[in-house]
Structure 1
């Protein structure tokens, strides 16, 4: 840290802002340290050794390719929450690497539904070229039947709720400048499904319906702490004694309106014009 030019550590959060000269000096210092780790080689298998690739772009180099092999035992799968926390503080361009890492550790894509980004103009390219005929027909019917109850763009992502056999969450991540897209659906299908097709049609036809926004007010935090840790959830409404939200893992989840002390610590940040969500919450509170 002594090699950093100033005390403004924030500017060094992303590798894009670190000059190559500084990277080399840091590397030289770390080479002096001898690092060893002990593990039982009999427990290691070829499946546990994965090849990781990284593509770094700095102000001085357009592309720096890094490739290395790493021993990643499946026993690390239970640390998925830790990986998510760490990657939340890294440049967002590393998000795809996080999904790939989690899919490798868990040997499953059902929870994270990792799909590689691909070049696609969300508004001009032919979507029929990436969907099977049967999926297209079902997707059109889903769109025409108005099964998309919520659709909203937040930063570089489109969030949607599609009412199918169950409620499914669709997320379309889209870079408008580079025309790069990544899609996700919480349904069991591990391919581009009818729900994604229906949402793309809705996006192209500008048929949006905003989510409610709610925030949990931790009674043990001061007002300043709440502001500093500001985090809100997309909400679809009240179901019995719960609020239906989209959690930080990209899942639809029911959370209790009342805490263990029978207090409502949820604050409605954004409601419909007729305050429908607030009325639903108040109705529940009056009926209990």
Structure 2
């Protein structure tokens, strides 16, 4: 199975243990993903992409964790809810019934922002947090948490570049500070994991502009050089 290349033996064993001990609160298959809640030190929101078995979770481990594998175990054992069927059932409900369902969800989870149209973009939120760093140093950790929990996996390619540019020109981040290096590395890692040649080239150009602060981008670029070289050969043939 492909997931055995993503989850190490220890993670798989723990994920099986979580599933067998009924710690998967629910597992829903919708389109080509698994969505679930898994109990651990907290209730964790977990999503598994069935196209490649990768998982993302609200737990501290974040990616390809035991909670994600617990969902895979639920799926393997046919212990999941058909989300496509749930949505199809909504078609048979009246407009008022559907409005009531949405109202209850919004009230329960405080999701009013989903109804508000003039929301700030993720990049604008990131810029705002950056401006708080000189006011109180600990806000650099707030920014790192924002990257991990909100920005990286939800951002578009151009948004990644825009925020990296903000980091590069920021007066509030010291180039030699370990937290600044960590921030640049987090964004660079997400960029190159997307394996988008154009995005990689633009990132490299940005690193030249702010070479004192974005120097680590070069290391990521040349680590992926062979991949992009192969990609260029395929493009030349097509």
Normalising by structure 1, report the TM-score: 0.30
* Structure showing the higher helix proportion among its residues: 2
* Structure showing the higher strand proportion among its residues: 1
